[in-house]
């Protein structure tokens, strides 16, 4: 009798362990939109419900800018779906990207080594391509990879393919690809307005340094609609390609020093110095690490910095752009519901905050409080969507503290 009871206990314990080890049930998409907050809550409880969700396409890091914890989560989910056969070859690409963005380079390399056992597969070739540093990547090879990509993954490779066409000066093919992207439903409408406002920032025949495929595509898209085609655009992510350097020299009539430094800040400085008759700008969304080696003065005129001293007041140019040349209505609402809108748009739009606060400064200095308050509220609205409203409040706190110091009769004046 004791033996039978012992046997039943073992069977029951085995069933419990089996149920406990099963993957959690996938929840609806609405339940995983705020993953970072969920992760902290579930981690404190010692649970793994944070991983109970649907796999999400993992794009290149400049598209999403999510936290390492979010990418680690996505790696877990894609690994689960690949193990269960729920994902095609694009799942390996998303798993590889997620591991790299999460800082788990050894795990990402293990994925690449595993795929190398079938080196002719699309997954192995695309992962090997992304594993290379940008200067070592073969652009023509990516064109073949894009053509072979699964339909479900191709739309998420369009920004990189636009880079390939742009680097090879294949402008007609590049512009037609914009149409494909737009029809896919994955083109973020926010980028159209951002690109419009960006080119409106610049003086005629200016040269604009842009940082990355998404930002550059926003500008090139609006130019493909016959808006400010006088502006020449240089994509900093492509400057390391010799083919792109030749394209720039021929198409834009620029002197491109050779060899160009790999550091983007130094490369910008060399190009600017080699073309003294041109007026250059740098977008505000450029990675701030590039500014450390730039060695050139910056003058804010809106969404871009001018790299040479203007003959006019920068403040008035700034005011003309934000108050007259820009379309700012789109900042009030979300226009699209795609991946860009969920993850990248708010941080992308933070570029508006600095120039808005400069106008706030000007009106505050003039003691025009109503106008200053209007621009403070606009800057705060943009910053709130990105979770950085503290930056705007701290900026105002400086003025309030300064005013109190000026009213202090005991303040020592030098």
Q: 239 near 260, Cβ under 8 Å?
A: yes
Q: What is the mean pLDDT of residues 357-380?
A: 93
pLDDT for 147 equals: 94
Whether pLDDT at 135 is above 70: yes
Token pair, residue 363, equals: 């009106």
With a threshold of 0.95, does the pTM exceed it? no
pLDDT for 12 equals: 46
Q: pLDDT tens digit string along 398-412?
A: 777 655 445 444 343
pLDDT for 354 equals: 93
pLDDT for 329 equals: 87
pLDDT for 138 equals: 86
Q: What is the mean pLDDT of residues 71-96?
A: 89
Instruction: Give me the DSSP letters along 341-359.
Output: IIIIHHHHGGGGHHHHHHH
Q: How many CB atoms lie within 10 A of CB 33?
A: 10
pLDDT for 381 equals: 92
Strand 304-306 and strand 280-283: the pairing is antiparallel
Q: What is the mean pLDDT of residues 372-385?
A: 93
Mean predicted lDDT score pLDDT of the chain: 81
Q: How many CB atoms lie within 10 A of CB 65?
A: 14
* Lowest-pLDDT choice from 172-186, 346-360, 361-375: 172-186
pLDDT for 402 equals: 58
Token pair, residue 164, equals: 């390939």
Q: 269 near 290, Cβ under 8 Å?
A: no
Q: What is the mean pLDDT of residues 175-192?
A: 84
- Phi/psi for 305 (5° steps) reads -95, 135
Q: What is the mean pLDDT of residues 165-185?
A: 87
Q: 96 near 112, Cβ under 8 Å?
A: yes
Q: pLDDT tens digit string along 30-73?
A: 333 333 343 344 344 443 444 446 788 898 877 777 888 888 88
Least Cα distance to 352 among 311, 307, 388 occurs for 388
Q: What is the mean pLDDT of residues 319-327?
A: 93
Least Cα distance to 282 among 337, 225, 233, 214 occurs for 233
Phi-psi region of 85 (alpha: psi -120 to 50; beta: other; left: phi over 0): left
Strand order across the 232-235 sheet: 232-235, 207-210, 280-283, 304-306, 299-300
Token pair, residue 127, equals: 């992962």
pLDDT for 5 equals: 54
Whether pLDDT at 93 is above 90: yes
pLDDT band per the 50, 70, 90 thresholds, residue 119: confident
Q: Cα(37)–Cα(39) distance, rounded to whole angstroms? A: 5
Whether pLDDT at 168 is above 80: yes
SS3 179: helix
Question: How is the chain split among helix, strand and coil, in percent rounded to 5?
Answer: 65, 5, 30
Whether pLDDT at 302 is above 90: yes
Q: pLDDT tens digit string along 223-247?
A: 988 899 999 999 998 888 888 999 8
Residue 72: which residues within 8 A CB-CB, separation 6 or more? 98, 102, 104
- Please indicate whether residue 45 or residue 308 has the higher confidence score (pLDDT): 308
Q: What is the mean pLDDT of residues 110-119?
A: 90
pLDDT band per the 50, 70, 90 thresholds, residue 353: very high
Q: Cα(324)–Cα(219) distance, rounded to whole angstroms? A: 19
Query: How does DSSP classify residue 136?
Result: G
Q: pLDDT tens digit string along 184-214?
A: 877 788 888 999 999 999 999 999 999 877 8
Least Cα distance to 24 among 44, 54, 46, 45 occurs for 54
Q: What is the mean pLDDT of residues 359-378?
A: 93
pLDDT for 29 equals: 28
Furthest CA-CA distance within the chain: 99
């Amino acid at each position: 009798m004791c033996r039978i009871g012992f046997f039943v206990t073992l069977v029951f314990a085995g069933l419990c362990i089996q149920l406990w080890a099963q993957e959690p049930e996938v929840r609806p998409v609405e339940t995983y939109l705020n993953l970072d907050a969920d992760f902290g809550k579930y981690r404190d409880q010692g649970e793994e419900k944070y991983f109970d969700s649907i796999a999400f396409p993992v794009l290149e890091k400049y598209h999403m800018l999510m936290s390492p914890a979010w990418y680690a989560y996505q790696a877990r989910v894609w690994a689960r779906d690949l193990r269960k056969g729920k994902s095609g070859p694009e799942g390996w690409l998303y798993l590889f990207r997620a591991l790299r963005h999460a800082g788990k380079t050894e795990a990402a390399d293990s994925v690449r080594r595993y795929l190398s056992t079938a080196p002719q597969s699309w997954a192995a070739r695309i992962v090997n391509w992304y594993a290379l540093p940008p200067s070592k990547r073969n652009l023509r090879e990516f064109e073949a990879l894009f053509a072979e990509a699964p339909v479900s993954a191709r739309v998420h490779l369009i920004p990189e393919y636009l880079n390939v066409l742009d680097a090879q000066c294949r402008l007609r093919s590049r512009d037609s690809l914009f149409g494909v992207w737009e029809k896919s439903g994955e083109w973020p409408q926010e980028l159209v307005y951002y690109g419009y406002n960006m080119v409106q920032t610049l003086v005629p025949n200016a040269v604009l340094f842009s940082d990355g495929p998404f930002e550059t595509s926003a500008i090139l898209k609006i130019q493909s609609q016959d808006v400010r085609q006088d502006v020449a655009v240089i994509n900093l992510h492509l400057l390391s390609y010799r083919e792109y350097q030749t394209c720039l020299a021929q198409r834009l009539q620029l002197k491109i020093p050779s060899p160009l430094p790999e550091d983007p800040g130094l490369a910008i400085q060399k190009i600017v110095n080699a073309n003294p008759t041109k007026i250059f700008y740098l977008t505000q969304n450029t990675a701030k690490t590039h500014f450390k080696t730039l060695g050139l003065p910056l003058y804010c005129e809106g969404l871009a910095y001018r790299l040479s001293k203007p003959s006019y007041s920068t403040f008035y140019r700034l005011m003309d752009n934000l108050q007259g040349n820009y379309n700012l209505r789109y900042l009030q609402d979300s226009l699209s519901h795609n991946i860009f809108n969920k993850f990248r748009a708010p941080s992308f739009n933070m570029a508006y905050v600095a120039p808005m606060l400069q106008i706030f400064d000007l009106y505050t200095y003039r003691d025009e409080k109503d106008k200053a308050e209007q621009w403070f509220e606009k800057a705060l609205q943009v910053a709130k969507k990105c979770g950085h409203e503290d930056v705007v409040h701290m900026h105002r706190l400086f003025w309030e503290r300064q005013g109190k110091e000026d009213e202090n009769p005991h303040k020592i004046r030098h």
